[in-house]
Structures are given as structure tokens and as C-alpha cells.
Amino acid sequence: MTVDEEIRKLTLRQREGRAINAVAELLRRTLSVPNIYLEPPASLIPADVLAVDRGGAGDLHAVEIQLASDLSPVEGQIRKAASHGDINERYKRATKVFIAKYRENLRTIHRKVMSIPAHYRYLAIPAESFGLAIGELAHFGLFPKDGIGRLGVITIKDRGEESPVAEMAAVAERFRVDPARLSSIESKLLTKNRPDIEVRI
């Protein structure tokens, strides 16, 4: 089996694992001396990647990664879903079904990401779904009700055998964080666990 064949057979979990590394690398490059936790305990902070700026003393940046096929509007998926009747009608029906499911899934994910107790919150999605996703996310609201903060969007570009690349597609703005939840994260995670990635000074 060649490397290319093996890459094509990766499970969703393996693809998300590769994306976690790509997101961690993006945060490592863009933040000031971050401490990065890969898949921290969901009971404390439900995120795939948590980066704490300024050597662990700064703002929390949390990223939720979503690469499931029902969040990627690939032409072939819609064509595959069209199975009966006139091809144009089947395509229209399948597209409508896909969009409805996409919207429902994205709304659930949006609620989850907006509730993460972090100063900066991001949703990471496949690069090819950004155009559709940003319109839906704007409809749900990139800003919280109190107006403080803005959801960031990171795109993941799959490059086959090469490592995927994470890029900042929509810049996040600082959210307000509940002090009690922040204190819990600091005492139960940040002071007791060594980060998975840290810059040695």
C-alpha cells in the first residue's frame, strides 16, 4: 500500500488528528509564546485545541474542529444522494436535503462553540465548505448577544500526502468569560497539567 492510498483510507478520527496538529501549528505561529493543549478534558473545556497565550498566563484560545462529510458540500455527495426520478429534480431535491441537514448540524456546532469558556473561540472546518459555512454562521450570529467577542473561523486544507494546512479565514475577537469557569480551568488544567506543546525559552 502506498502512502497516498493510506492517506485516502484515513478515518474521520485520523483526519481530525492531523487537523489538530495543523491548528496547533497555526496557533503556535500566530500567538505570543503559547502553551498548547491537544484535546484537553471536555469536562473543563470542550475544545479540540486550547492555546494559552504568553507562556500560559494570557488569553485562552479554543478551537473546535469539524471535518465530518455532512459539513463538506462536495458535489459528489449531492450527486450520490440523488437516486430516483429526473436528474435535475433529483439534484435539486438532494441539494435541498443536504442544505437542510448542513444547516441543522452547523447550528448545533455553533451553539457549542459559542459556549466554550475561552477568550477567543474558533470553529475549524474544511476549506471547501467555507463559502457556505460563513453565510450560515453569519445567519446564526458570529457575535454573542452582549456584543463582546466574535467567532473566528479556521479553514483546514487537505493536501493528501503532505500535512494539512490551517489558515485563519475569519479573525476572532475577544469574548467575555465567566470568572468562575475561567478559575476552574486555571486550577484544574493549567496549573496541574503540562501543555502538549510549549515554547522553551
Domains of the chain by residue range = 3-72+107-198
Which has the higher per-residue pLDDT, 74 or 108?
108
* Per-residue model confidence as pLDDT tens digits over 146-198: 889 999 999 999 988 899 999 999 999 999 999 999 999 999 999 999 999 98
Q: By C-alpha distance, which of 44, 88, 29 is closest to 186?
A: 44
**Mean pLDDT within 52-76:** 81
Which pLDDT score, from 0 to 100, does residue 79 have? 47
Select from 34, 75, 66, 50 the least CA-distant residue to 153.
66
pLDDT value at position 75? Answer: 44
Q: How many CB atoms lie within 10 A of CB 128?
A: 16
Q: Tell me: the pLDDT tens digits for 76-121?
A: 454 455 445 556 676 677 677 777 888 888 899 999 999 999 999 9
- 47, exposed or middle or buried, with CB in 10 Å at 0-12, 13-18, 19+? buried
Mean per-residue pLDDT of the chain: 86
For 3-72+107-198, CATH gives 3.40.1350
* Nearest CA-CA partner of 30 in 163, 167, 127: 167
Contacts of residues 98-102 at CB distance under 8 Å and 24 or more positions apart, as own/partner, are 98/70, 98/73, 101/70, 102/70, 102/71, 102/73, 102/132, 102/136
Residues forming a β-bridge with 150: 173
